[in-house]
Amino acid sequence: MLKILKVQTNLEFKRSLKSLESVIEEEETRFKSSFAVLQSAGITKNSLLSSGKHYLGVLDNEKKKFEKTFKEQQSKQVKQKDAKIHQLQAGINKRKEHLQKLISEIESMEKSMETSRKEINKAASKVQLTKDQFMASFGQIKGQIQSDFDKINRYL
């Protein structure tokens, strides 16, 4: 019951001050007039100050609750997401390493492929040279044999 009176005391005082703003310009006079109205209801300066102190206590308690909730939410929303960022970064780094390994393997395969192409070209040139030499020898020997046939037929 005492808390309710403290809250009402302060609320009544604030309402009275607000209603007098448009009527009384000077702040000191507004405060004194509002207090005079409340004094007639048995409100003292000490009860008004006590009511104000009660409100400050309530505000401090709410601030503490808010700070606790804030820290919990910060931990929940910021730290968890920060941990997720670190997890994602680790995944990215792992995949980059794997990608680099694949690139190295591809480069090695390309070098091997180029070496094989050179070997193929060298072997193809050698086979072609052998064929050309064979065909030249073949043509020469065949030409000689044909010439001999012609001479046999003509002379004999």
Q: Give CA separation, 97 vs 41, 58, 90, 94, in Å.
A: 81, 57, 11, 5
- Average pLDDT estimate for 103-107: 97
Look at residue 71 and tell me whether its pLDDT is greater than 60: yes
What is the reported pLDDT for 51? 85
In this prediction, residue 4 carries a pLDDT of 45
Average pLDDT of span 40-63: 89
- Whether 133 and 125 have beta carbons less than 8 Å apart is answered as no
pLDDT at 83 exceeding the cut of 80: yes
Q: How high is the pLDDT of residue 63?
A: 97
| Predicted pLDDT at 37 | 85
At residue 122, the pLDDT reads: 96
Query: Does residue 2 carry a pLDDT above 60?
Result: no
Q: What is the pLDDT at residue 16? A: 87
- Which residues fall within 8 angstroms of residue 136, CB to CB, at 6 or more apart? none
